[in-house]
Structure 1
Amino acid sequence: MKIENSFFVILIAVLLFSPSTFAQDMGGAGASSITEDFSAETVGAPPKSFAPAVGNWLIGIDKDNKVLVVDGSKWRRGQTSAGLADKARALYGERYAEFLDNVKAYAYFPFAVFSRVDNFSNGTISMRFKSIAGRIDQGAGILFDLKPNGDYYALRANPLENNLVLWRFKHGKRSSVSWVRNVRTPSRQWHDIALKVKGNGIEGYVNGKRYMEYRLPAAVSGKVGIWTKADSVVFFDDYKVER
């Protein structure tokens, strides 16, 4: 089953072009930090701080702490967030149609977009993650440089493969950009992953250790979020953007 392009395009239109109460454009205002710890969210409900694009995302509990959960046990290829299409049409009418020729759906890769940052180009994105289950995958990644046509990058760790990979998603195709082996992130344990960006230079960290340095073809600029794959069941917490 393939995701309908129009649904995905509508999502991009809402995320990239709608005004947000929480969005911040730092410009030259100096350093700032935004942290989402999900403490104000409602357990059992979809997140308000992230806009799910593909997959099942809800607020859960780990011991006494609220977390964001991607529930890959209910994953279906191409699943979009409930009610998104109707909301987008109500807000923008046919405006989304301009994206139809440019967007390819990445139905195999659930992700959710952070609602509180309109554009990220320089700084650090970090989060904690705890992989719980998944036979196909248990990926946990930082999505960044999300463009209006749906292109993006994702830096992800994977307990099943013990590696750190920078993926590029462009014009409907996925390719590995940089690959680091022997990066251990055992399942059912909390880990930290961080991405540092300066222009087109990036660095990837896991549990405080730098594993990756890479220079992209162009400077980073776009939306950010959380990325995973297929049937992964993963807890996320303390998503932080520093600029």
Structure 2
Amino acid sequence: MRSPGPMRRRFVLAASTVALARPAAAQPRRVVQDFEGAPVGAPPPGFAVALTGDGPPPRWVVLEDASSPAGPRVLAETSRDRTSTRFPLAVVEGFEARDVALAVRFRPLDGRVDQAAGLVARYHNARNYYVARANALEDNVRLYRVVDGRRVQFAGLDTRVPRDRWQSLGLRAEGDRLEVSLDGRVLFAATDRTFGGAGRVGLWTKADSLTHFDALEARALA
């Protein structure tokens, strides 16, 4: 979905009617980011960069990728650092929700340690959040909670995650139920009560993964 008219930051915002952590008037109900208005080679506007684990700081930049169905500009973490306990994040600014539906298009391109793409929900800080992760190197999709910086898997499924192909990852968090989908097909659901309040949302990757992201959408659920 595209916003009407050229903008440096392409967000689609609507007035919130959901009781969230911030006042409703200041809180969008829906955010869409396709990176089309962002300068190539620069960090993504509208995101805060963070890191869970070890290794050097993340390097998230906007790149050109003409193969993207959502437009030629995409986001990627480009440092290629091979620290296996290194998890870069790009967290959306100005949006928080407890119950939320997330989706992103991603294209795994390379990585010797990992070829990962992740969606983050109920993010409190770089040490506490949920993440749904697809991995093209391992051909699986997993759901984790990260508590005090420690990642714990509590659901998952082995399934083909093709390399060098655009596909979509979805995460829906509603109450204590979390549901994960790939290309619009629900893979699995699980319950967890670790993070029950509102939090931020964002993108996640691991180690030396080179993954292109596009068309990130977050929608607060009534």
State whether TM-score is above 0.5: yes
Mark the CA change 1:146 to 1:23 in structure 2 (over 3 Å): closer, same or farther. Answer: farther
Question: What residue is the counterpart of 1:47 in the other structure?
Answer: 44
Question: What residue is the counterpart of 1:68 in the other structure?
Answer: 75
Cα distance between partner residues in 1 of 2:35 and 2:94? 13
Structure 2 residue 215 is matched with structure 1 residue 238: yes
Following TM superposition, by how much is the alpha carbon of 1:241 offset from its aligned partner in structure 2, in angstroms? 0.7
Structure 2 residue 209 is matched with structure 1 residue 209: no
Cα distance between partner residues in 1 of 2:155 and 2:79? 26
Following TM superposition, by how much is the alpha carbon of 1:205 offset from its aligned partner in structure 2, in angstroms? 0.3
Structure 1, unpaired ranges of 5+:
1-21, 78-105
**Equivalent of residue 159 in structure 1, options 136, 154, 165:** 136
The residue correspondences of 1:19-98 to structure 2 (distance < 5 A) are 26-27=17-18, 32-54=29-51, 55-63=58-66, 65-73=72-80, 75=81
Cα distance between partner residues in 2 of 1:25 and 1:150? 28
- Cα offsets for 1:14-44 (capped at 9, x unmatched): xxxxxxxx89764257x94321000110001
Partner AA of 2:18 in structure 1: G
Report if the CA contact (8 A) 2:178-2:192 is conserved: yes
Mark the CA change 1:162 to 1:60 in structure 2 (over 3 Å): closer, same or farther. Answer: same
Cα distance between partner residues in 2 of 1:143 and 1:239? 11
SS in 2 for 1:110: strand
Mark the CA change 1:32 to 1:181 in structure 2 (over 3 Å): closer, same or farther. Answer: same
**Equivalent of residue 131 in structure 1, options 108, 113, 128:** 108
Following TM superposition, by how much is the alpha carbon of 1:116 offset from its aligned partner in structure 2, in angstroms? 3.5
Partner AA of 1:187 in structure 2: R
Question: What residue is the counterpart of 1:108 in the other structure?
Answer: 86
Structure 2 residue 178 is matched with structure 1 residue 187: no
Cα distance between partner residues in 1 of 2:92 and 2:59? 15
Following TM superposition, by how much is the alpha carbon of 1:220 offset from its aligned partner in structure 2, in angstroms? 4.9
Q: How many residues align?
A: 191
TM-score (norm 1): 0.72
Cα distance between partner residues in 2 of 1:112 and 1:153? 14
- Cα offsets for 1:80-100 (capped at 9, x unmatched): xxxxxxxxxxxxxxxxxxxxx
The residue correspondences of 1:215-230 to structure 2 (distance < 5 A) are 215-218=191-194, 219-230=196-207
Partner AA of 2:32 in structure 1: T
Choose between structure 1 and 2: higher helix proportion: 1
Cα distance between partner residues in 2 of 1:147 and 1:133? 30
Report if the CA contact (8 A) 2:117-2:135 is conserved: yes
Structure 2, unpaired ranges of 5+:
1-12, 52-57
Following TM superposition, by how much is the alpha carbon of 1:221 offset from its aligned partner in structure 2, in angstroms? 2.1
Larger radius of gyration: 1
Supply the RMSD in Å over aligned alpha carbons.
Answer: 2.5
Mark the CA change 1:52 to 1:204 in structure 2 (over 3 Å): closer, same or farther. Answer: same
Detail structure 1 runs of 4+ shifted over 3 Å in the superposition.
Answer: 22-26
**Equivalent of residue 154 in structure 2, options 170, 177, 200:** 177
Cα distance between partner residues in 1 of 2:187 and 2:163? 19
Cα distance between partner residues in 2 of 1:153 and 1:239? 17
